């Protein structure tokens, strides 16, 4: 008797399973929370549509105690999830951004982008660039969103993200270097446990076949037309435009137990060798795994990481 079970195209458990008939079963990252005033952090948030044609929004965050015309550093944040799960509206990201805003006294734009596999790469990159152009439309104080008109300091803009979101933040920094967001000065980029990879293991990166297969299956799920794991979008060391990254400073967070740890160190090295003239620093957290600061935000190491980012955003 023939099996009635649908055939699996990509098994990226515990994140998602994609079937050959097109069905996608997301195993996590499905919960959402509305924007709100968060009494714990005194941070206010709201959602604003930036791409009506694709039904995409950004979630904006503002410290409650900001003066009417006070300008603050602007952070554009890209969520992680392998390009496939999570959103800016997930409780994990909503709570994390509230904490960032409260600790660092900044304005944040948290970007929604179309997710793979329904919308494979480069959709996430294209949407993120569209969001950045929407943000840049506020440079002269005449954009559609009052919070950005009144409070965003476009001389002090930062990009950041975790995992796949860090990959996007990095890609947006290069795209800004090549195409320029007029009137926007990207002061720095913070990459939290960036999702970078390559065909061959580097330094002390794992050679374990099962571990490497998970990372590589996730990449093919997100970008089925990829040429492989040395494609510039997943392996910046192979990107001829790496030195065009447009910002003055880069901070890379890695975690000792993360499969991506060695790759973060390697890309830091390659960025320094690329001819890029900025300053890059790596901060490694011992004893922790991938994006631990999101899953366990109250632990000591997560608090250290939060303070480190606060210092980065508030350094003149």
Query: Domain residue spans in the chain?
Result: 37-313
How far apart are alpha carbons 28 and 30 in whole angstroms?
Answer: 6
- Write the pLDDT tens digit of every residue in 223-278: 999 999 999 999 999 999 999 999 999 999 999 999 999 999 999 999 999 999 99
pLDDT reading at 1 higher than 50: no
In this prediction the pTM is 0.97
Please give the CATH number for the structural domain made up of 37-313.
Answer: 3.40.50.1820
Cα torsion for 255, 260, 262, 264, to the nearest 10°?
A: -80
Q: Determine whether 290 is an active site residue.
A: yes
Question: 57, 87, 163, 274: which is the annotated catalytic residue?
Answer: 163
Band (5; pLDDT cuts 50, 70, 90): confident
Active-site residue flag, 176? no
Selected catalytic residue, list 79, 170, 231, 290: 290
Q: Name the β-bridge partners of 111.
A: 58, 78
Catalytic status, residue 258: yes
163 Ramachandran zone, left/alpha/beta (phi>0; psi -120 to 50): left
Contact by Cβ (8 Å): 315, 106:
no
Q: How far apart are CA 50 and CA 128, in angstroms?
A: 10
303 burial type by CB count under 10 A (0-12 exposed, 13-18 middle, 19+ buried): middle
Q: Among the options 38, 127, 162, 258, which is catalytic?
A: 258
| CA–CA distance, 211 with 231 (Å, rounded to integer) | 19
pLDDT, one tens digit per residue, over 268-305 is: 999 999 999 999 999 999 999 999 999 999 999 999 99
What pLDDT score does 110 carry?
A: 98
């Amino acid at each position: 008797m023939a099996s009635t079970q649908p055939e699996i195209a990509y098994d990226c458990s515990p994140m998602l399973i994609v079937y050959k008939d097109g069905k996608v079963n997301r195993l996590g990252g499905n919960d959402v929370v509305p924007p709100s005033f968060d009494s714990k952090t005194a941070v206010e948030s709201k959602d604003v549509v930036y791409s009506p044609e694709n039904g995409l929004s950004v979630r904006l965050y503002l410290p409650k105690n900001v003066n009417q015309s006070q300008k603050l550093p602007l952070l554009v944040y890209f969520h992680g999830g392998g390009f496939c799960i999570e959103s800016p509206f997930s409780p994990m990201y909503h709570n994390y951004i509230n904490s960032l805003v409260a600790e660092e006294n900044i304005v944040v734009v948290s970007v929604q982008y179309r997710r793979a596999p329904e919308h494979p790469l480069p959709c996430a990159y294209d949407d993120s660039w569209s969001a950045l152009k929407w943000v840049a439309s506020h440079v002269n104080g005449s954009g559609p969103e009052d919070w950005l008109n009144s409070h965003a300091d476009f001389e002090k803009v930062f990009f950041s993200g975790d995992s796949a979101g860090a990959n996007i933040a990095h890609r947006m920094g290069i795209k800004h270097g090549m195409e320029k967001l007029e009137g926007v000065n990207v002061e720095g980029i913070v990459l939290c446990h960036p999702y970078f990879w390559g065909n061959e293991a580097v330094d002390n990166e794992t050679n374990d076949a099962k571990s490497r297969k998970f990372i590589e299956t996730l990449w093919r799920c997100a970008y089925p037309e990829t040429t492989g794991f040395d494609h510039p979008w997943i392996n910046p060391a192979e990107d001829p435009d790496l030195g065009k990254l447009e910002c003055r400073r880069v901070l890379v967070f890695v975690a000792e137990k993360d499969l991506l740890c060695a790759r973060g160190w390697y890309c830091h090295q390659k960025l320094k060798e690329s001819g890029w003239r900025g300053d890059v620093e790596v901060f490694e957290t011992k004893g922790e795994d991938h994006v631990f600061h999101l899953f366990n935000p109250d632990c000591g190491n997560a608090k250290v990481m939060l303070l480190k980012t606060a210092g980065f955003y508030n350094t003149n």
